[in-house]
Amino acid sequence: MSSNDMLRFNEAIDQALAESVAKYSIQVNRTRDMFLAILGHDLRAPLASISLSGELLGVAGISAEKVTSIGKQVERSASTMSSMVNDLLGFSRTQLGSKIPIKANQIDLTSICYTAIDDVSAMYPVSLFNLTKDGNLTAHLDGARLHQVFCNLLINAAHYGSKHHVIEIAAKEAADELTVTVSNRGPAIPPEPLKAIFDPLVQLSNERPLDNRPSTSLGLGLFIAREITESHGGSIEVTSTENEGTVFEVRLPKKCN
């Protein structure tokens, strides 16, 4: 190779490196700006609720019953904020080119489902949940991450589903895998929005009258659920019809690699 060829080769390497650094910087800046926009908009409501609760607790002569009610409101707001922050952290990792890390251990999927129901019930106290289970639901998976998956699916079902119908969760053993379905009886999602439902920052329109249910409207929950499921070597699908409602199905191996 001549000296001119070597010079051109080095220049090409330098240009490729400069373009890669510029692209990475743009991606980092975009992620940072998205963080700031989402935090500024969607955390205001729960923060305002906690602030107001603090003011009410400072009122002299407040009854014990009222204190209990305020405490539950603070708990719901904190759960909402925790869900948002967890989704933001997961989204940040994926946008910077990393997969969501999985730390597998021996778990009982039934216990994880029950815990997710308890956590989401604190955010949506008027929603009703029913869990059915079938088969051996022990597996070698990341329990903490799957808890996040099921919380996000239940939050979505509680927010968009009909409050007059029970949200059904079915966990069962199927051959060499485990499946968990989350079903709600809300209005059917049109085909086009359904195709993009797992994309980040996608938010479904909610045309129901306001019913005081909290909003975790980051548009990241289902995206994070898909990323965690796929990191386990599993899959997640959704169907939505007027007759069956909206059904999310999570398929997981009994042991992730």
120 plus 235 within the same structural domain: yes
Residue bearing the bigger pLDDT, 113 or 121: 113
Report the number of distinct structural domains present in the chain. 2
| Mean of all residue pLDDT scores within the chain | 79
pTM of the model: 0.67
For residue 247, give every residue at least 6 positions away whose Cβ sits within 8 Å of its Cβ, in sequence order, or none: 181, 182, 183, 238, 239, 240
Residue 246: inside a domain, yes or no?
A: yes
128-176 pLDDT, tens digit per residue, is 999 999 999 999 998 888 988 998 899 889 888 887 889 999 999 988 8
Q: List the CATH number of the domain containing 221.
A: 3.30.565.10
Given a cut of 50, whether residue 207 has pLDDT beyond it is: no
- Same domain membership, residue 224 and residue 133: yes
Question: Is 100 contained in some domain?
Answer: no
Same domain, 28 and 140: no
Please tell me whether residues 151 and 67 are part of one structural domain: no
Tell me the residue ranges of DSSP E strands in the chain: 105-108, 129-134, 138-141, 167-174, 177-184, 235-241, 245-253
Task: Point out the domain boundary residue: 64, 95, 126.
Answer: 95
Residues 13 and 31 in one domain: yes
73 and 150, same domain (yes or no): no
3-state helix, strand, coil in the chain (%, to 5): 55, 20, 30
Residue 40 lies in a domain: yes
109 and 89 share one domain: no
DSSP category for residue 232? T
Q: Looking at residues 115-140, what average pLDDT do you find?
A: 89
Report the CATH number at residue 63.
Answer: 1.10.287
Q: What is the DSSP string of 95-152?
A: HTT-PPP---EEEEHHHHHHHHHHHHHHH-TT--EEEEEES--EEEE-HHHHHHHHHH
89, 91, 93, 95 alpha-carbon torsion, rounded to 10°: -150
Q: Which of 37, 70, 95 is the last residue of a domain?
A: 95
Residues 239 and 121 occupy one common structural domain: yes
Where residue 8 falls (left for φ over 0; alpha for ψ -120 to 50; beta otherwise) is alpha
Residue 44 lies in a domain: yes
**Whether 229 and 202 share a structural domain:** yes
Please check whether residue 51 lies inside any domain of the structure: yes
The H or E element spanning position 212 is none
Judgement on whether residues 213 and 139 belong to the same structural domain of the protein: yes
Strand partners, 247: 183, 239
Cα dihedral: 70, 76, 79, 85 (round 10): -90
Residue 39 and residue 158 in one domain: no
**143 lies in some domain:** yes
- Which of 116-125, 140-149, 175-184 comes out lowest in average pLDDT? 116-125
What pLDDT does residue 209 have? Answer: 37
Range of the domain at 42: 3-95
Does 121 fall in a domain? yes
Which pLDDT value is given to residue 136?
Answer: 93
- Residue 48 pLDDT > 50, yes or no? yes
How many residues belong to the chain? 257
**pLDDT tens profile 210-256:** 344 444 455 677 888 898 899 899 999 999 998 889 999 999 999 87
Q: Does 183 reside within a domain? A: yes
Q: One-letter amino acid identity for 233?
A: G
Distance CA 53, CA 77 (A): 10
